[in-house]
Amino acid sequence: MAIQTRNKKSAEFSTASMSDLVFLLLIFFMLTSTLISPNAIKLLLPNSNSKTMAKPASVTVYVDEYFNYFVDGIPASEDNLQANIGQKLIGQTDASIVLKVNYTVPTQYVVNVIDAVNKINEADNTNQTKHKVILATKPGP
- In-domain check, residue 77: yes
Q: At CA 109, angle to CA 108 and CA 112, rounded to 5?
A: 85
Pairing of strands 132-135, 96-101: parallel
- Look at the chain and report how many structural domains it folds into: 1
Instruction: Say how far apart CA 89 and CA 78 lie, in whole Å.
Output: 18
pLDDT digits (tens, 9 = 90+) for 83-131: 998 888 887 777 888 899 988 999 899 989 989 988 888 887 666 667 8
Q: How far is CA 139 from CA 14, 59, 112, 131, in A?
A: 51, 21, 25, 24
In this prediction, residue 137 has a pLDDT band, given cuts at 50, 70 and 90, of confident
Q: So what's the pLDDT on residue 19?
A: 86
In this prediction, residue 71 has a pLDDT band, given cuts at 50, 70 and 90, of very high
In this prediction, residue 7 has a pLDDT band, given cuts at 50, 70 and 90, of confident
- In-domain check, residue 103: yes
- Which stretches of 36-106 are DSSP H helices? 81-88
Q: Which helix (H) or strand (E) holds 135?
A: strand 132-135
Instruction: Say how far apart CA 12 and CA 25 lie, in whole Å.
Output: 24
- In-domain check, residue 37: no
Rg of the chain taking only CA atoms, in angstroms: 27
In this prediction, residue 75 has a pLDDT band, given cuts at 50, 70 and 90, of very high
Residue-number span of the structural domain to which 112 is assigned: 47-139
